[in-house]
Structure 1
Amino acid sequence: MATRLYRSRALASLRTSRPSEIRCFSTSIAQLAGFPTGQPKDTENMRKAPRPPVGTLHSPLVNPADKYGSKAENMHKYGSWIMGCLPKYVQQISVWKDELTIYVSPSGIIPVFSFLKRKSQCPVIGLPTDPNPPDNTSAEFTQISDITAVDYPTRDQRFEVVYNLLSVRHNARIRVKTYADEATPVPSVTPLFDGANWYEREVYDLFGVFFTDHPDLRRIMTDYGFEGHPLRKDFPLTGYTEVRYDEEKKRIVTEPLELTQAFRNFEGGTSAWEQVGPGTDRRPDSFKLPTPKPEEKTEEKK
């Protein structure tokens, strides 16, 4: 009986003392941590509360190309150096952001690509060149990433062939552009880059650009006996024929496409979107370069 009475008194003492201990302990922690225990009258309005100092405000870039200013300058220097080394073949250069593009005549494809891959000296007049030069440490564009083309029907040389090269050692890229038409071929770079084999076949299949000295220039994406080149601007989106499986003949047949509306021939590069307008070219004027003039054909003396 005495033991139960003692326990009840002990519990009662804990119930009465614990809230005060907690209040005292919490107050002491707030005082030790330096937290304010009360709200001053002058800071009752949060607009008048002290704020940390405001840092420096940086104005946003108006032209996103401005952040590539240092790279663009180096690209201009390197492009000027290439143009000085090969003035006979390189017609002009352009730099947009961190991308360097050089424009080459069709006859300069092999010399320019050989120089970018393995030439050791700049073949300027008066400087000797090594007949079997080692790799050039200033370039070493030993990998070809892609070959494609763009169709401009209004130009004399309607096709713009685009090569993208990669230097794995220097982690750099360069773009080479040349021009051609339906009858003018472009030299093949397959002897220099084995990976260009299928790329050139794709450009021939989709655009109709011929590549001389190609080991196996034939279609690679379209079907056997396909007529036309699908990525030309004058090629209709639906094509001229349709392929289906004939249940009676038990084979695939190709038939002329039947449409309710006749095909429209957009002569001179006109299209239904001309009423919208050409749009706004946001490139700086310093980067707008004219299209290189085609190389004059010289008649061979008989």
Structure 2
Amino acid sequence: MAKDQNAPTDHSAALRGKLQALSERISLSLSAAVLSSEIAFDELTVVFDAAKWIESLTFLRDSGFICFIDLTAVDWPAREKRFDVVAHLLDPKANLRIRAKCMTDEETPVESCVGVWPAANWFEREAYDMYGVLFSNHPDLRRMLTDYGFDGHPLRKDFPMSGYVEVRYDDAQKRVVYEPTRLTQEFRSFDFLSPWENASYELPGDEKATRS
């Protein structure tokens, strides 16, 4: 009898059981801080109250998640709290991963977790630079990837593709100058339905070329 490829393996079932037990332990210990919990793709995702962000992360660290993997943000511009702050953690002893989240807006800072994991320093700076997420009590919250005078935050979904300014070296002034972005032509419209010419067969969209 053929084996169902979609059926969970023994390893997957065991891992899901560990994650479910972890989720229940977190909810029991941090009931006031946990907003939601979900297991997907063999990984536990827990959304915490931003006001209890450091308390929650400290609990996870003391529970074995001593390896800080990374921290970033996700932009949901239609939402009142448009940013998800996302941290990925690893418990090397139990070989378990967890994704911890909290939500915030453009003006409300999230407390820095540098005191919990010093490695979070540059990741929080990157999230501030690219998304504009603010972190309170950060030791050095400055831009990291863009220039000091850069306008806006490039990974926000409402940031224009062309940016706000362009940079060039002015030979007359002997320095780099910033000027408002000027597009020399309109954005071109490409017909992605018919990318090849002179094909031996007709592709969807080719009929456009024969219209009078």
Structure in which a larger fraction of residues adopt strand: 2
1:100 and 2:44 equivalent? yes
2-structure distance, mates of 1:90, 1:231:
28
2-structure distance, mates of 1:107, 1:187:
8
Alignment counterpart, residue 172 of structure 1, candidates 86, 93, 96:
96
Instruction: Look up the SS of the partner of 1:243 in the other structure.
Output: strand
Instruction: Look up the SS of the partner of 1:149 in the other structure.
Output: strand
1:58 and 2:23 equivalent? no
* Residue matched to 1:82: 26
2-structure distance, mates of 1:144, 1:160:
17
Structure 2 residue runs of 5 or longer lacking an equivalent are 188-212
TM-superposed CA distance for 1:256, in Å, is 0.9
TM-superposed CA distance for 1:78, in Å, is 1.1
Q: Is the 8 A contact 1:159 1:179 kept in 2?
A: yes
Alignment counterpart, residue 140 of structure 1, candidates 55, 64, 67:
64
2-structure distance, mates of 1:143, 1:74:
18
**Runs (4+) off by over 4 Å:** none
TM-superposed CA distance for 1:261, in Å, is 5.3
1-structure distance, mates of 2:160, 2:13:
42
2-structure distance, mates of 1:165, 1:58:
34
1:69 and 2:10 equivalent? no
2-structure distance, mates of 1:91, 1:228:
31
* Residue matched to 1:45: none
TM-superposed CA distance for 1:110, in Å, is 1.1
Partner amino acid for 1:208? G
Trace 1:151-166 onto structure 2 (pairs within 5 A): 151-166=75-90
Partner amino acid for 2:181? L
* Residue matched to 1:215: 139
Quick check: 69-78 or 108-117, which moved more?
69-78
Structure in which a larger fraction of residues adopt helix: 1
Instruction: Look up the SS of the partner of 1:78 in the other structure.
Output: helix
Instruction: Look up the SS of the partner of 2:69 in the other structure.
Output: strand
TM-score by length of structure 1 reads 0.58
- Provide, for residues 151-198 of structure 1, a one-character-per-residue CA deviation record: whole Å limited to 9, x for no partner: 001111000110011222322211100000011110110111110111
TM-superposed CA distance for 1:249, in Å, is 2.0
Instruction: Look up the SS of the partner of 1:161 in the other structure.
Output: strand
Q: Is the 8 A contact 1:72 1:96 kept in 2?
A: no
TM-superposed CA distance for 1:113, in Å, is 1.1
TM-score by length of structure 2 reads 0.82
Q: Is the 8 A contact 1:106 1:186 kept in 2?
A: yes
Q: 1:59/1:88 Cα in 2 relative to 1: closer, same or farther (>3 Å)?
A: closer
2-structure distance, mates of 1:209, 1:103:
17
Partner amino acid for 1:159? F
Structure whose CA Rg is larger: 1
Alignment counterpart, residue 116 of structure 2, candidates 175, 192, 195:
192
Instruction: Look up the SS of the partner of 1:141 in the other structure.
Output: coil
2-structure distance, mates of 1:60, 1:230:
42
Partner amino acid for 1:192? V
Instruction: Look up the SS of the partner of 1:83 in the other structure.
Output: helix
Q: Is the 8 A contact 1:72 1:97 kept in 2?
A: no
1-structure distance, mates of 2:42, 2:159:
34
Partner amino acid for 2:118? D
* Residue matched to 1:238: 162
Partner amino acid for 1:203? A
Higher relative contact order, structure no. (Cα contacts within 8 Å, ≥ 6 residues apart): 2
* Residue matched to 1:91: 35
Partner amino acid for 2:78? T
